[in-house]
Amino acid sequence: MATIAEHLEKVRARINQAAQNAQRNPSDIRLLAVSKTKPASDIEAAYESQQRAFGENYVQEGADKVAQLSALNDIEWHFIGPLQSNKTRIVAESFDWVQSIDRLKIARRLNEQRPPESEPLQVLIQVNIDDESSKSGVKAEDVLQFANDMREFKSLNLRGLMAIPKANPSEQEQERTLSSLHKLFEELKQHFPQVDTLSVGMSSDLEAAILHGSTMVRVGTDIFGARNS
């Protein structure tokens, strides 16, 4: 069985190749290792291979790993899962980034609960880019207003957008989705100079995402193997 180190090397090579094909600088694309359901020892193995940014989907599981691995103090922890308002405090206290902001109520609570001695929380607005009823996220047409409404939250720093495109799209659907997401990102950047992050692309579609302006791919399966749960 290939090791996490070997998997990481392969994923990095894919990112470099995709960047080259898109005539982009590979250093403009960050890799987020999605470690949900995986043990802390897997994160340590990836850390040994110079991986520093990790994504978690479940509040308690994620906070436990943050605590367990606190000695690795240059890990950047991203919360990327659905977030209920009664769980915002743990996230505000444990994580560096939240990629799944989709309601003002959640943003307001994170802003209030971010410890004053911590850096601002780095946040992305999750966009429901394919307007799927099963998915959370702000509608594309509401993103600019939503971003404006967030300006008052001084403990949050808006860095950009996150999206989970619909699974198994046709090539045309994928092209349409990723293009409209890229356009929305460029529009957001015009109004918010600090915005620099478009989080899209996973194990199966990172090449297409990089071709369409992704600056952060979130990869779980192709680094840590299939999840049982």
Ligand X SMILES: *Cc1c(COP(=O)(O)O)cnc(C)c1O
Binding range to ligand X, per CB under 6 A, among 85-93, 117-125, 176-184, 215-223: 215-223
Residue 33 makes contact with ligand X by CB under 6 A:
no
Considering beta carbons, is residue 33 or 92 the nearer one to ligand X? 33
The nearest distance, CB 81 to ligand X, in angstroms, is 6
Closest CA to 89 of 124, 65, 60: 60
Q: Which of 184, 181, 160, 175 is nearest to 205 (CA)?
A: 175
Applying CB under 6 A, among 31, 80, 107, 216 the residue interacting with ligand X is 80
CA distance 184 to 129: 10
* Strand ranges for the chain from DSSP E: 30-34, 53-56, 76-79, 97-101, 121-127, 156-163, 197-199, 216-219
Does 220 participate in binding ligand X (rule CB under 6 A)? yes
Decide if residue 14 touches ligand X (CB under 6 A).
no
Residue 114 lies near ligand X (rule: CB under 6 A) = no
By beta-carbon proximity to ligand X, the closer residue of 7 and 218 is 218
Nearer to ligand X, 55 or 213 (CB): 55
Q: Which span (9-17, 20-28, 82-90, 212-220) binds ligand X, by CB under 6 A? A: 212-220
Residue 218 interacts with ligand X (CB under 6 A): yes or no: yes
Q: How far is the CB of 85 from ligand X (least distance, A)?
A: 19
Is residue 23 a contact partner of residue 43, using CB atoms and an 8 Å limit? no
Q: Which of 204, 201, 196, 205 is nearest to 217 (CA)?
A: 201
* Length of the chain counted residue by residue: 229
**Residue showing the smallest CB distance to ligand X in the complex:** 220
Toward ligand X, which CB reaches closer, 34 or 143? 34
Terminal CA-CA length for the chain:
20
Contact 167, 129 (CB under 8 A): no
Task: Considering the complex, state which of residue 155 and residue 203 has its C-beta at the smaller distance from ligand X.
Answer: 203
Tally of CB atoms within 10 A around 57 = 18
Please count the helices (runs of H) and the strands (runs of E) in the chain: 9, 8
Nearer to ligand X, 81 or 213 (CB): 81
Structure tokens at 166: 């619909």
Distance of CA 79 to the CA centre of its chain: 7
Candidate list 8, 31, 34, 45; residue touching ligand X; CB under 6 A: 34
- 203 touching ligand X, by CB under 6 A: yes
Smallest distance, ligand X to C-beta of residue 70, A? 24
In the complex, the residues that contact ligand X under the rule CB under 6 A are 34, 36, 57, 80, 164, 202-204, 218-222
